[in-house]
Structure 1
Amino acid sequence: MSEYELSELGPVDFLVIEFPEGQQNFTGEMAEELLRLVDAGTIRVIDAIILTKDEDGTVDALELSDAGDLGELAELEAGLAELLAADDVVHLANAMDPGSVAGVLVYENVWAAPFASAARRAGGQLIANGRIPIQAIIASIEADGELETTGA
């Protein structure tokens, strides 16, 4: 990436999506939705790898081009920066169950790039960010609903 591209970069996030043994399908609806986000300019994929974890805990990392037939996802391969290092792979694989396969996606939130760039030009810097798991949101809404119905 050039210095200009880096200065205009939006927030970068990653996802690790694990598939249990026998349910490893990176194509279909999931691939279509990812490509839709890329085509719409909502995100830009910076890196993507596939991790496998054998029953004995051995981890292997595959670039998309080495992972076999991924259908339309193969389109993403040309623009990848291969940002993830070996240490990153080991750290991410620690959360995986033996016998599983995971897709790792590093992406730029293109939609937020103009705001992020303006904040940096104003002298600001991002010092923290986070995600609220959807399960926590659902639990909170359900708990509020129960309070309303019980009057507690």
Structure 2
Amino acid sequence: MTQLDVGPIDYLAVALPAAKMQGDGLKELIDLSERGIIRVLDLVVGVVAEDGTVTAVEVADLDGDGELDLAIFEGVRSGLLDDEDVAETASLVEPGQAVALLVYENTWAGPFVSAMRAAGAEVVAGGRIPAEQVAEALDLLESI
């Protein structure tokens, strides 16, 4: 893969109440990865103890059902996240909770950007519009 074939890289930090992952989030993450829409570059979980100390844990049985939930992502580490990133993000949650940090490539965009560059175009900016702003704008349009 050349640098031109890399899509935009994003990250998400997700607070996990009671330090457990529940619901369909894991299924959706696996589905997005298997369909090639994203490529997971880092997946780290930081558990915040009652005394506030943070421990980065291996991806394991996060929902307590006895099965390795994220075996497909076991050992995924790009080096983009370090212990300081985990500690900083863990400061956003309360003791007794955990935070999952996900760094991923938007693989769908890589071939598009490469094709545009081959045609002489150049990506000059990128960004993210917060979901809340999008929802507000759509609600406003629907009310007109």
Would the TM-score normalized by the shorter structure come out above 0.5? Answer: yes
CA offset digits 1:87-124 (Å, max 9, x no partner): 22232223222221111111111111112334555473
Give the aligned CA root-mean-square deviation in angstroms.
Answer: 2.9
User: Is the 1:51–1:60 Cα contact (8 Å) retained in structure 2?
Assistant: yes
Distance 1:53 1:145, change over 3 A: same
Amino acid at match of 2:21: N
User: Is the 2:4–2:110 Cα contact (8 Å) retained in structure 1?
Assistant: no
Q: Which residue of 1 aligns with 2:53?
A: 58
Choose the corresponding residue for 2:21, options 4, 25, 31. 25
User: Is the 2:61–2:68 Cα contact (8 Å) retained in structure 1?
Assistant: no
Counterpart-to-counterpart distance in 2, 1:120 and 1:37: 26
CA offset digits 1:26-54 (Å, max 9, x no partner): 5x522111111111111111110101112
Q: Which residue of 2 aligns with 1:37?
A: 32
1:129 Cα deviation after fit: 0.8
Counterpart-to-counterpart distance in 1, 2:39 and 2:31: 11
Amino acid at match of 2:34: D
Is 1:90 the equivalent of 2:82?
A: no
Amino acid at match of 2:25: M
Give the number of aligned pairs.
141
Amino acid at match of 2:84: D
Amino acid at match of 2:122: G
1:143 Cα deviation after fit: 4.9
Counterpart-to-counterpart distance in 1, 2:61 and 2:26: 17
User: Is the 1:11–1:108 Cα contact (8 Å) retained in structure 2?
Assistant: yes
Give the TM-score of the pair, scaled to structure 1. Answer: 0.73
User: Is the 1:10–1:117 Cα contact (8 Å) retained in structure 2?
Assistant: no
Q: Which residue of 1 aligns with 2:130?
A: 132
User: Is the 2:61–2:67 Cα contact (8 Å) retained in structure 1?
Assistant: no
Give the TM-score of the pair, scaled to structure 2. Answer: 0.76
Higher mean displacement: 86-95 or 64-73 = 64-73
Structure with max Cα Rg: 1
Identity %: 32
1:66 Cα deviation after fit: 9.2
Which structure has greater helix proportion? 1
Q: Which residue of 2 aligns with 1:73?
A: 70
Amino acid at match of 1:38: S
User: Is the 1:47–1:81 Cα contact (8 Å) retained in structure 2?
Assistant: yes
Distance 1:66 1:123, change over 3 A: farther
